[in-house]
Amino acid sequence: MSLFASLIALSMAGAAPAADYRQRPPEDEIVYFLLPDRFENGDAGNDKGGLEGDRLATGYDPASKGFFHGGDLKGVIRRLDYIQSLGATAVWLSPVFKNKVVQGPKGQESAGYHGYWVTDFTRVDPHLGTNADFKALVDAAHAKGMKVYMDILINHTADVIEMAECKGYDCPYRSRADYPYARRAADGASVNDGFAGDDVQTTENFARLTDPNFAYMVKVAPHEKDIKVPAWLNEPIYYHNRGNSTFTGESSTMGDFVGLDDLMTENPRVVQGFVDIYGDWIDRYKVDGFRIDTAKHVNPEFWRAFAPAMLDRAAKNGIPNFHIFGEYATGDMDPTITAQGTRVAGLPSSLDFPFFAAVRDVAGGTKAPDWLEKLFSADPLYGDDRTALRLPTFTGNHDFGRFAHFARKAFPAASDQEILRRTELAHAMLLTLRGVPVLYSGDEQGFTGDGGDQDAREDMFPSKVAVYNDNELIGTDATTARSNFDPDHPLYRAFARLAKLRQDHVALRRGEQRIRTYAEKPGLFAVSRIDAASGQEILLAFNTSNAPLSANVAVDPLKNNYTALYGDCPARSAAPGQLAIKLPPLGYMICKAQ
């Protein structure tokens, strides 16, 4: 470890002693998100998950971006110091549950390395380790004063149920109004239709029912009829079975998410089943929060029952600041979608996709800073004054792609140095503006990716994937073909410095955000973060243009002296209520008001 990283680690340890981690509110966290399979290989013995055969049998192919690569929970434990030295106080893991090993149309198969094709909700996938490994990880993180957030699923399971009338994955959605048909299990057992036998293949032979919950006849392969755990998940009656969602209208909550089995979350048995499943993970491992995958595609009544039950379970386990945030995804800067999670579903928080879109476009240079003003002006949509402070914010992720990719796409002729500066600027916004910053693993090492989904899920340990290894990383001459845990990478150092400032100044974590000025073309965006309890005020100024900037910023006329926390802050205001600032191209400053 470099001297720089050692000093950061020491300062972070002093700022967040292990004994106090439970008392930190969610807005005090800096979250590091990772996919265990793509992070570090701590145990080569579990690379194939205990299975034998080719990649379609084991799911393991380290040269393919769509299969398991060998990372695991022991590898995460090994790198906890690296994560903490970066300034992160919490680790968010993609789902660790046992997945269907491989699925997909013939010739287009991929593996469940990402964790979102769950078959067993009670155990860790053998490719990632064991339940004991998960406990060891949580315990090791807690010993360092770090929290652990689980990524959980409720909307769907792995694709096991097949609609008998459809061809493979091509199964159009059938609405409740148009198709009140019966469903049947593959083994001939009747499912609410009173029939027996498994030779009925056409809708003409279905029993007509008045209950509109029934659409397609279903089939389950004999070797998969008992694959799901807990056992009640193997009953087709607990699924919608209406075909693939179009992501509009009723299909948004009742259709299969690209073929994945969509649970009937309106059913009280399903509600109680998942309360029991995830309550048990809290009881057994004392995790600190849940990120809820595809929350937008579950009926809001479910969340109004589930979230209070989880908060109560956590409180009984001595976890007073359990953080729950749902995925209400939007690729645009549209807070009305994300706010459905808190306002309609009653979840404590939502993953802030509008922040991602706004910073992508503003720091990426395609929109002016007034786009950020529009973003933050919508904060009351989420609820009270504290709700927006608890929205996890991010600049890129495993689904949509990395910030550096978007910046390069917007400016294909830009130098690597410009993309590096834009990436640091975006993360300066992430780590100082309102919300709970989420760092995506690899961004601190200059990863760029080729797009979203599999193209943004590079290995941190030496990769064998050709389409990863030909990527041109920023801020380094390294490639993903080597191990990338360098604490001296310029982005790692910048993120760690910003994280330290955030931890040292309560206004940057909990302070009200007051917009001071914003440009209507690429240029200045300035805000103050003000902590009501202490009166502490931090002025933030960002230059989103590729040219030097000189401007006056309207500030509190009673605060005339400033201390530079980063950048060339003026020591005094030029006149009461006016601060004259200068910023380099794509630069920023952080000033403490006296």
134-to-45, 75, 126, 157, 568 alpha-carbon distances in Å: 16, 11, 11, 21, 45
The reply to whether omega before 487 is within 30° of 0 (cis) is no
Residue 338 CA to residue 280 CA, distance in Å, equals 28
Distance (Å, whole) CA 552 – CA 465:
50
Buried residues in 187-197 as b, exposed as e (16+ CB within 10 A): eeeebebebee
Q: Residue 327 catalytic?
A: yes
| Residue 444: active-site member | no
Neighbours of 563 (CB within 10 A): 12
| 137 phi and psi angles, rounded to 5 deg | -65, -50
Burial 565-585 (b: 16+ CB within 10 A, else e): bbbebbeebeeeeebebbbee
Which residue in 47, 256, 262, 327 is the catalytic one? Answer: 327
d(CA 284, CA 274): 15
DSSP H helices, 397-553, are 403-410, 416-432, 466-469, 490-504, 506-510
537 Cβ partners below 8 Å, 6+ apart? 507, 511, 528, 529, 530, 531, 556, 559, 592, 593
Nearest Cα to Cα of residue 166 among 226, 232, 233, 242: 242
Structural tokens at position 517: 């000025």
- Pairing of the two strands 436-440 and 524-530: unpaired
User: At a CB cut-off of 8 Å and minimum separation 6, what does 6 contact?
Assistant: 85
The overall longest dimension of the chain from CA atoms, in Å, is 87
Partners of 218 in the beta sheet?
Answer: 163
> Catalytic one among 165, 256, 288, 293?
293
Q: Which positions are catalytic?
A: 293, 327
